[in-house]
Homo-oligomer: A and B are copies of this chain.
Amino acid sequence: MVQILNRGSIRPASPRLQRRNEQRRLEILQAAAKVFRRRGYAASGMREIADELDSSAGNLYYYFRGKDEILYFCQDRALDLMQAAVGEALRSAAPYAKKLESVIRAHVRIMLGELEGATAHLEVDALPEELRRAVVGKRDAYEHSIRKLVAAGVKASEFEPCDAALVTRAILGAVNWTARWYRPDGAQPVAQIAAALSDYLVRGLLAAPQAGAAP
């Protein structure tokens, strides 16, 4: 793992201070995600993120080493939330269609939600090599979990036989692509986009009802 947590204090902080620090870091990630989305990552600096928070760039440097590290934590946090959603789905007793639906909906909500910000989620190539490797590792693990879910649904005859790896990538492509067209001020609420996407993407997997010899 990348050692960039818990900076800014030499001795361990009190639990209360730790909570406050964590809260402040979240606020910064939230503001940064907005700024990255609005200006693009390349054109965003610590100054713009600080402005969004009515704060100073100096204050931000207390929490993060720079905008690379902020981008890294945006992606890291988004992936943790996504992986948690797929883990929960894998453990649940719901049918595979419901499991996958909940994973897709969570992904869209996290991608487009206020905190994470779609742009931040995709700018993986902008990260310095060490941070990029850490994010890519988490991404691969997440993709692998979805593939496992799809393959298990096929094995349980809930889903049509398919290339689980390819279908997983198609699903990830469809949901990640929202970053290219979603506008926070658009007419469609995130929940509606998430529901429509998951309905469509899960339907493509469902095994035809076993109703005799109908084609």
How big is the A interface, by class?
35 or more
Q: In the complex where A162-B196, A203-B160, A204-B204 touch, is A176 in contact with B173 (Cβ < 8 A)?
A: yes
A205 touches B200 (CB 8 A): yes
**In the assembled complex, A88 has its CB within 8 A of some CB on chain B:** no
Q: What secondary structure prevails in chain A residues at the interface with B?
A: helix
Can you list, as one digit per residue, whether each of A174-203 has a CB less than 8 Å from chain B (1) or not (0)? 111110110000001000010011011111
CA distance A174 to B177 in the complex (A): 8
**In the assembled complex, A5 has its CB within 8 A of some CB on chain B:** no
Which single residue of chain B is at the shortest CB-CB distance from A188? B166
Residues of A participating in the B interface, judged by any CB pair closer than 8 Å: 40, 125, 160, 162-163, 166-167, 169-178, 180-181, 188, 193, 196-197, 199-205, 208-209, 211, 214-215
